[in-house]
Amino acid sequence: MHRTYDDLTGFDAEDLRTEQQVAILPRSHPLAARPALSTADLRDLPDLPAARWPRVDGTYPDGPGPEVRSQAQLAQLVALGRTVIVIPRSSRTLQWPEHVAVPVLDAALATTVIAWPAASTSPDVARAVRNAVSAAETFAASRTA
């Protein structure tokens, strides 16, 4: 889960990684050739309106962008030149050959977290959380060494 995107109400969470965000654009879009973007560059793009995810109640916010229900659908819509997304840099694994990832310099940093139900007393959940935190710390240390 990611802070800024996911609702963590009712969950306890441990931060794993904080990172820059990137815009995933269709390779053919003019902004895809830039080395970096700002949020202003991405605001109100008439040819690439922001995708709309359903609210908790299943309704969609108003807007011109396509309604999406899955990451695969979203990736396809980017490849077709119908929308743009801004995601944490490590989420580029969603990137297809038809996509380009461009850093968004002034986007809020995104924090990846591991989350679990706040009332959980499961030793297995506690072990999974400890392992995820340890792996994140090991990864961070290897990147600074």
Q: Per residue in 86-133, pLDDT tens?
A: 988 887 676 788 899 999 999 999 999 999 999 999 999 999 999 999
Asked if 23 and 39 count as a contact pair (C-beta separation under 8 A), the reply is: no
Prediction pTM value: 0.79
- Residue 54 CA to residue 81 CA, distance in Å, equals 21
What is the pLDDT, as a whole number, of residue 144?
A: 73
* Token pair listed for 66: 């396509």
* Token pair listed for 1: 């889960």
- Residue 6 CA to residue 53 CA, distance in Å, equals 11
Q: What is the mean pLDDT of residues 65-72?
A: 92
Asked if 119 and 95 count as a contact pair (C-beta separation under 8 A), the reply is: no
Q: What is the pLDDT of residues 10-19, one digit of tens each?
A: 999 999 999 9
On the question of pLDDT at 70 being above 80, the answer is yes
